[in-house]
Structure 1
Amino acid sequence: MALSLADKLVVAISSRALFDFEEENRVFETGDLQAYEALQRERLTVPARPGVAFALIRKLLALNTSAHRVEVAILSRSDPISGLRAFSSCREHGLAIERGVFTRGRPPFGYLKPLNASLFLSANHGDVRDALAAGFPAARVLPESATMASRYPDEIRIAFDGDAVLFSDEAEQIFQRDGLRAFVSHERDNRELPLAVGPLKPLLEALHRLQKLADEASPMRIRTALVTARSAPAHERAIRTLMAWNIEIDEAMFLGGLDKGAFLREFEPDFFFDDQIRHCESARAVTATGHVASGIVNAS
């Protein structure tokens, strides 16, 4: 019988999102592929330093102690020889990652389907846009993001924006077109009508399933948060949408336009997802951050 990843939370991640390959990437971006590959060959025995998403991946893999529920695969534009360094760095850091696809410069997002990916994390803007357009949950990690020294080593903490991330951007379109008053009125009038699915809803759903499967033998727990610019009365439709999906979240922050960074500093997520780059800029000073380039605010 062929192996299947259908029952797993599968995270596909670029080598640059997992490890600090910023120096190597600057050579790659010059277009001199030979120089890049030569540099990676020189450093085959030098373990790469942890990157932006490293802490999140390490914690997710810790869920596999009692049962194999999470699969992580490297999905990279690097060449296969550079892949040797990525895998050896995984081994040196104790990351149980066994699968990888290395495309030597070609867009890799097409391999998300056979991997059955629940999330794609990459530092490449184009690859993330392509993945989102193809219907896969994806975010561009910001390599400059801070990595929080968490007080919660036994919890995976993930925070999500709402509109254009967990939910569709239908309400955001009204806000952009007609302003705040029209947005609030529309959301109040439609409070019992669930919002359409956003790009990262499948990820939240997968995390919720893992929360329900957690047992006493597991060394890791999952805690989720909704961190949104919505405020009352527009909060109600967001909560009712989650109820309609039969998904529970642990914390909800309705900030009414307040800066999200200060609240994220208190929640201490291992990762935060938002569609608006201004919120990502605030968040990345606090924690690892991913930009979800979807919806009307990213249309251009």
Structure 2
Amino acid sequence: MGKVTGPRHGSMGYWPRKRAKRQYAKINAWPESKDSKLLSFAGYKVGMTHAILTDNRKNSTTKGDEINFPVTIIECPPIKIAGINLYVKDAYGSKIKSCVLGKCDKELGKKICLPKKVDEKKIEDLKTENYSDVRVLVYTQPKLTGIGQKKPELFEVAIGGTSVEEKLNYAKGILGKEVLVSDVFSEGDQLDTHVITIGKGFQGPVKRFGVKIRGRKSEKTKRGPGSLGPWCGQQHIMYRVAHAGQTGYHQRLEFNKKLLKIGEKGDEINPIEGFKRYGVVKNTYLLVKGSVGGPTKRIIRFKKALRPNKKYNYEAPQIQSLNLRVAKDVKD
């Protein structure tokens, strides 16, 4: 019989528990911003370590002291703008009315069919009349990293701004160009991370839902649900019952992760042997407070906080040291 404090195991907010459609997440909700710039970026997860920081939280009992925090390292090579999506709004929601592609790298041809010629006149003639929103198509450059991947990821990113015309002018200005993570975020910002978690394959109900292992004298099974629910006849079982199935490789969102540092040189943090299961950081990197989902080498999408903490301290703390064997220190 279920307890009042724990009537069931497994949140129904994450249903169905099946594999994600693709290896990088989709963002459906975007924050509002008055600044004309991208609202999201992407990078590749390097791994985790811990850092010694000077605590700058206002009401903390350890304010001013050096404390230990876990941090996640994310490598962020520049992203490129592939095209512009123009939306119209009707009674059923927003739909893409027009899409214009700019000059793209040949690697993107592994993902989509690229036009032979770029229609510059069509891009210049774009107007905001009859359009409700403007977003851009961006693609990553994994060839700049050491993960061994050439095929880029392609996804849509919203633009901040006070009007559709302002967004369109900004999109025209960056079309076909590179955008750095420092152009989008700054140290101390709050981030929402969108990831595809580590896949664990087909697992039983104890690992998948955390149901209790039954007693020694239980019949039929020990590592399973105690009841199959009110409808378990006629070859039917209710979907709410904890059963074995796919575990992991789900899309998950975490709110309000703190961006501690934006580093320009990967040599500052690279060990001599490189990071385990990743290699060497060659591009701009981020230090994010706490853990971020997904395995190493997986792409992490992050955006400006959708519902930021109002009591948040936007000043980035001073990092005293990282738990890394930096190459130049070992050689000396």
| TM-score range for the pair, normalised by the shorter chain length | under 0.3
Higher RCO, 1 or 2 (CA under 8 Å, sep at least 6)? 2
- Structure showing greater Rg: 2
Q: Which has the higher strand share?
A: 2
TM-score after normalising by structure 1: 0.23
TM-score after normalising by structure 2: 0.21
